[in-house]
């Protein structure tokens, strides 16, 4: 059974800092990995999708990498801003039935 872990559960950083959010998964037979952002009381927004054959994807100040063999992904946020404060979740598609398994998320607070 696929398990997705995100540690730590919460993170507080000063504005302007570059930061890395980690995600690990137990079954490397994935189709893709997605990083999502969730604001309080809102739905999830997909930020980046990395196919299993890819190593990384970039969108603006965000860069996500994937190391399938080691079961790890990182989301790099450059020059963090207070508007980046949210919960960030990673999720992987796995298996013949293509189930999407989510991590529990990292709640990020960027202090002005």
Partner 1 sequence: NAGVTQTPKFQVLKTGQSMTLQCAQDMNHEYMSWYRQDPGMGLRLIHYSVGAGITDQGEVPNGYNVSRSTTEDFPLRLLSAAPSQTSVYFCASSSDRTNEKLFFGSGTQLSVL
| 71 or 80: CB nearest partner 1 | 71
Q: Does 100 participate in binding partner 1 (rule CB under 8 A)?
A: yes
CA 2 to chain centre: 16
Of 20-28, 66-74, 78-86, 95-103, which part binds partner 1 (CB under 8 A)?
95-103
Distances (CA, A) of 95 to 8, 43, 58, 98: 27, 25, 26, 5
Q: Does 49 participate in binding partner 1 (rule CB under 8 A)?
A: yes
Strand 56-59 relative to strand 106-111: parallel, antiparallel, unpaired?
A: unpaired
Q: Does 71 participate in binding partner 1 (rule CB under 8 A)?
A: no
N- to C-terminal Cα distance for the chain? 41
CB of 58 to partner 1, least distance (A): 15
Of 14-22, 26-34, 58-66, 69-77, which part binds partner 1 (CB under 8 A)?
26-34
């Amino acid at each position: 059974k696929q398990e997705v872990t995100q540690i730590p559960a919460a993170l507080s950083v000063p504005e302007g800092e570059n930061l890395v959010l980690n995600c690990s998964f137990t079954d490397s037979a994935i189709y893709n990995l997605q990083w999502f952002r969730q604001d309080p009381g809102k739905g999830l927004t997909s930020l980046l999708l990395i196919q299993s054959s890819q190593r990384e994807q970039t969108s603006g100040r965000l860069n996500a990498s994937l190391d399938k063999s080691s079961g790890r992904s990182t989301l790099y946020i450059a020059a963090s801003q207070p508007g980046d404060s949210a919960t960030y979740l990673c999720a992987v598609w796995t298996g013949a039935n293509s189930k999407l398994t989510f991590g529990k998320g990292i709640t990020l607070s960027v202090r002005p």
